[in-house]
Amino acid sequence: MPKETPKEIPEEIKKVVLKTSEPIGLPKKPSQFSISAALTKSEEAPEKIIDSTKKDLPSQHFSETDLQNEWKKFLLELQEKDIIVYNAINSFKLKKKEENIVVVTYPSESAKVEFDKIRSDFFNHFMHKVNHFNISVEFSVDITMKKEIITKRKIFDKFAEINPVLKELDDLFKLDFN
């Protein structure tokens, strides 16, 4: 009988796992629709490029009357071309503040948005007309300029607040204020 030799027990191989301090794969990019990424995104201020040619352009004097006349002409032309924008901006007031500054007073932000659409058209025309190319524009809001359309129903409701009997009469007789 042969001698049994003890079976050799294989030595256990030790597995060494290397770890890295940073992920090896590509970094995870946030979705373009991610709100949290948009909130954490740091906004960089755009570089301001100063155009030296603007200072070389002519800057002749213009008066308040020149500004008002051109604004009225522009509104008349706009009334024929685009009545919706005209109705939004016809209550705007333009005033010359200093030699290079024009102040635009407007009644509401929505009207200002409409004005922004045609602002370049007006000021380009005006600058060429008066030969003054260094005009800057300042905006100011004045809510007292806001026009409100008063209907018969609004008038009735105003009087009904003063005299509640009118409201009862309206309910009783079913008055129509259209």
Q: Which residues pair with 141 in a beta bridge?
A: 106
What digits encode the pLDDT tens for the residues 33-89?
777 777 776 555 455 545 555 567 888 899 999 999 999 999 999 999 999 899 889
Question: What is the distance between the alpha carbons of residues 151 and 174, in angstroms, rounded to a whole number?
Answer: 17
pTM of model > 0.85? no
d(CA 157, CA 171): 13
Q: Position of tokens 């209907």?
A: 151
Average pLDDT value for residue range 95-115? 91
Give residue 173's pLDDT: 86
Tell me the chain's radius of gyration from C-alpha atoms: 36
Mean pLDDT of 134-162: 86
Quote the percentage of the chain above a pLDDT of 90: 37
